[in-house]
Amino acid sequence: MMDGSDSSALLRADALTKQVSSPEGTLTILDRVSLSVARGETLAITGPSGSGKSTLLALLAGLDAPTSGRVFLDGVELSALDEDGRAEARARGVGFVFQSFHLLPGLTALENVMLPLELADRADADPAARAVLADVGLAARVGHYPNQLSGGEQQRVAIARAFAAGPSLLFADEPTGNLDGGTGARVADLLFDLNARAGTTLVIVTHDASLAARCARRIALAAGQVAA
Amino acid sequence: MKPLSHSLKSFSRGWRGGELAMLLASVALSVGAMAAVALFTERVQLGMEQQAGEALAADLVVESRDPLPQAYDERAKTAGLRTARLTYFPSVATTASASQLVEVRAVTAGYPLRGTLRVADRPYARGTPLRALPGPGELWAEPRLFAALGIEPGARVRLGAREFTATKVLDYLPDQGWNFVDVAPTALIRSEDLASTGLLGPASRVTNRLLVAGEVAGVKAKLAPLLTRGQRLLDARDGRPELRTAIARAERFLGLAALVAVLLAAVAVAMAARRWAKREADAAAILKCLGARQRAVLASYALVVLWVALVGGLAGAAIGVGAQAGLVALLGNLLPADLPAPSLAALPGVIALGGVVLAGFALPPVIALGRTPPLRVLRHDLGPVPLPAQLATLAAAAAVIALLAVQTRDLRLAAFTLGGLGIVVVAFALTALLLLKLLGRLRGRVGVAWRYGVANVVRRGRESVAQLTAFGIGIAVLLLLTLTRSGLLEDWRATLPADAPNRFLINIQTDERVAVTAFFTARGLPAPTLAPLVRARLVAIDGVAIEQVKLDNPNLRNFAEREANISFGAALPAGNKLVEGRFWDATGAGPREPEVSFEVGIGRALGLKIDSRVTYDVAGEQVTARVSSLRWVDWDSFRPNFFILFSPGSLDDAPATWITSLHLPAERAPLLLELTRAFPSVTIIDTDVILDQVREVIARASLTVEFVFLFTLGAGVLVLLAAIQSSRDERRFESAVLRTLGARRRTVLAGVAAEFLLLGLLAGLLAVLAASGLEWLLAREVFDMPWRPDPRLAIAGGLLGTLLVGVTGVLATRDVVTHPPVETLRRR
């Protein structure tokens, strides 16, 4: 386990704690979790349901604010920024792949992939998005809407969207969770292949042991704490 | 499973959880709007009738040549009504040096029951309202009497055996004026002074009136059978045709406004019900999965709708009662002070109408909810099974027809409104589809926020079309109300130009015609056109005595049997239009056989056709004439208008007086003194005061429509909120994804703004077209008004609609952006 003072880390979490109030009292979902991810590293966060791995991912990505503790992304303290500031940080260098794909249903495959490019004010959004879609084997499907694509194709669009803006860090939340075995394996191949080519830092949340095994490093969460 | 207890639990859960809140709000607001409109319009309509009642100085009048029994007064008083008595007859007023024919009006305390006298201190001065009567021994008179007698206020005037002091000048009496014949200047005295004049001899031509004011509807029915021959009931509505027209128009406007508010609210109900059904789908699937039968699930959810109808309906009734009271308070002294209290009797009916709205618009999605397959517990993509589209449409259509029928109580108006709405819906849907296709092509050329907004509008194709239609209809109706209302005022301005006649001269004797005409031309005024007036009584139609002719309407019988003012002339009078038949040749001496032209409404009511023969008793002589045409008459023209017009030559020998109307600029008013001195028998009627009264009624009607229109506006906003509500989950998700990808809140908000501005713009543009089209149809077919497009107003209305949709949309979706994205993504 790296300590929180490692300055070469792309992503660093110091004693992240997340508590929520419930009718039964305060519930601690994450309890003083610290970790550090080096540039280019691949990390799997594993654990059973309710262990807090999705919450950890949300905090690391700045989608949620911790109750206490700090998150640094590329030297910038995410946890000190307001929502818009965190959004901007994501626009600059973070990509996402979700279990449920989370494509915008109103936009075509191409438009979905263009989104992060446009949000990063890239003038070449259209050709760049087409190129990434070609990379994931969907050159012929650019004009299709999400509901016209299969689950595997949707996830490939989501992967293309994640890599389109050339992020330095990619978060994947159960990227194969909604796919059957074969499709899941092909999507995982694609994810690691693109990752290897782009040298992206990859943080995967999964309870799929085979997917976790493909990462260079694994940490397991149990009851909100790092177990291994 | 027990449907009743489950339905109560679902209702209370939905209530607490907020899922049913929008549905309840929609029902409450639709019932509230209906209740407020029903209660308020009922009160205002009664108020307007009271205002129109000024024509009689009462709401109801019993009139007779013979003294009226005291029993009538008592009957009216026991019913809680106010009464007064008026006796009037022609007589001569004299001073030491002059005499003048007058109409003596002796009144009891309380006169006038409707309207207010206006009196001045000198002749032809503008009077001030006064709620008082002449003191004992005092006489108030119209300025013409002062002029004719050459006296000033304070002078002594003799009526029969009694001498009075003429203390004040009567500028306005509510019930003066429209009895064109024998109008001599009025001399108003107290009833108590009447006996001392000794003028009420057995042969005197006295008319007795009992004036009644209050809730006269029931009393009218009770009094009618008591009346003996020679006694007749006059309703406020018998008064003036132009006022009647104004009130009828106002009633239609209010009915239409109420109707549209209800239909818009119904759209909101449908949207809210669909969202609730969608949210309840999991519960329905689980119930079935656990063994509940479809019928029980259906019954349970149908019962929830019933609870919504009751709770929402009661809340709506309360809103309605409060809102109408607020409206009345807001209108303040613009409404008659003694506006009748709202009758709560209308409320159960209105709550039931709320039930009709729910049955037509909420029940179909709820039935679909009951049909949710249990498999949904495994396959979340399986939702409620909707009813066949035709069935859902049928339910909505049945509800709309029921609402239309109840709200308008006018099948013609209902049919035109339905037809208009149908055309609008189809036209909107088609145009919206077309625009969406065009938009889809445009989206590649706009920034990310706009693309997101445009994409939202385009992707929710069906929803967008539905929303465009709903917003569009809402805006169209707002435009329609302002356009049509302004059309009404424009119409009035058009029919009452600055130089509209403001004086009627009546009782011009045949041998005075040339001199009267010369009087005006010599003073640089245009020569007035004189029309003859002959008193005649209808005796027979096609040889059948009028008493034997079947006339279903008592007012019509009154009209047919009373002495009528008929005219004759060579040309079709200005403002008249030939509806049927041929008008006689204006160039010759007229047809050989006497011909007659009837105003189309009265002609048809009397059952007259072209070539019918009518017989009139004219000064004891019978004249039979062939009906050769039916005319439309512009009663708003303030020119002499006649129901019955004979061909030239047919009434040449009949005793006639002549009538004319002219525009006299204010600065030439003193000329009237000269005219009265030169022609003592000529009576001058100042229509300015009557026009003022008509204008006030119109202004009041317009204001009422505008207030009713506020409910329509509220219903439109409700539709918008329901639409936003039903897409909230999707919007939260989209916002969450965008923000996860690094979009700032401002960017997401810009996208939302783009979407609503676009929706508003499209809906506004469509609405302008639709409103203009529907207005044209209504103006032509229902309101009988000429239609004038007003592009300036339409554009303003379209912009207003766009801003309204844009601003409301952004405000209502703000929380979508503030909602933490991680929560939304986790829930999916």
Structure token pair of residue B729: 């989950």
User: Would you call B743 and A91 a contact, using CB atoms and an 8 Å cutoff?
Assistant: yes
pLDDT of residue B597: 94
pLDDT of residue B486: 59
Which of B215-229, B503-517, B574-588 comes out lowest in average pLDDT? B215-229
A220 Cβ contact list (under 8 Å, min separation 6): A45, A46, A47, A51, A226, A227, A228
- Searching chain B, which residue's CA lies closest to the CA of residue A100? B828
Mean pLDDT of B766-772: 76
CA geometry: angle B74, B50, B182, nearest 5 deg: 80
Mean pLDDT of B114-131: 86
pLDDT of residue B697: 57
Mean pLDDT of B482-495: 57
The H or E element containing residue B217 is helix B216-223
pLDDT of residue A135: 86
Backbone angles phi, psi at B629, to 5 degrees: -160, 160
Whole-number Å distance between alpha carbons of B120 and B172? 9
The predicted complex's ipTM stands at 0.79
- B412 class by beta-carbon count within 10 Å (0-12 exposed, 13-18 middle, 19+ buried): exposed
Between the CA of residue A172 and those of A41, A103, A167, B179, B588, what are the distances in Å? 14, 14, 13, 92, 101
User: Would you call B456 and A106 a contact, using CB atoms and an 8 Å cutoff?
Assistant: yes
User: Would you call A116 and B741 a contact, using CB atoms and an 8 Å cutoff?
Assistant: yes
Model pLDDT for residues B252-294, shown as the tens digit of each residue: 666 666 677 778 778 888 888 888 888 888 888 888 777 778 8
B448 interface with A at CB cutoff 8 Å:
yes
Model pLDDT for residues B413-439, shown as the tens digit of each residue: 777 777 877 776 787 778 878 877 787
Backbone angles phi, psi at B580, to 5 degrees: -150, 150
pLDDT of residue B180: 32
B521 Cβ contact list (under 8 Å, min separation 6): B527
Average pLDDT, chain B: 79
pLDDT at residue B346 tops 60? yes
User: Would you call B734 and A84 a contact, using CB atoms and an 8 Å cutoff?
Assistant: no
B459 interface with A at CB cutoff 8 Å:
yes
Instruction: Give the pairing of strands B156-159 and B231-235.
Output: unpaired
CA geometry: angle B503, B508, B514, nearest 5 deg: 100
Residues in chain A: 228
Min CA distance, B13 vs chain A (Å)? 18
Q: How confident is the model at residue A58 (pLDDT cuts 50, 70, 90)?
A: confident
Model pLDDT for residues B463-477, shown as the tens digit of each residue: 677 667 767 766 776
Mean pLDDT of B37-51: 68
Mean pLDDT of B558-587: 83
Considering CB atoms only, which of A91, A100, A106 is closest to B742?
Answer: A91
Between positions 739 and 768 of B, the ones with CB within 8 A of A are 739-747
- Searching chain A, which residue's CA lies closest to the CA of residue B458? A106
**Four-residue CA torsion sign, B579, B581, B585, B589:** negative
User: Would you call B745 and A87 a contact, using CB atoms and an 8 Å cutoff?
Assistant: yes
Q: How confident is the model at residue B181 (pLDDT cuts 50, 70, 90)?
A: very low
Min CA distance, B391 vs chain A (Å)? 28
pLDDT of residue A3: 39
Cβ–Cβ under 8 Å, residues B824 and B733: yes
Mean pLDDT of B748-759: 83
Cβ–Cβ under 8 Å, residues B635 and B641: yes
B559 Cβ contact list (under 8 Å, min separation 6): B602
Between the CA of residue B420 and those of B37, B259, B774, what are the distances in Å? 22, 13, 6
Model pLDDT for residues A144-188, shown as the tens digit of each residue: 988 899 988 998 899 899 888 888 899 998 888 877 888 888 888
Neighbours of B551 (CB within 10 A): 18
What is this structure's pTM?
Answer: 0.61
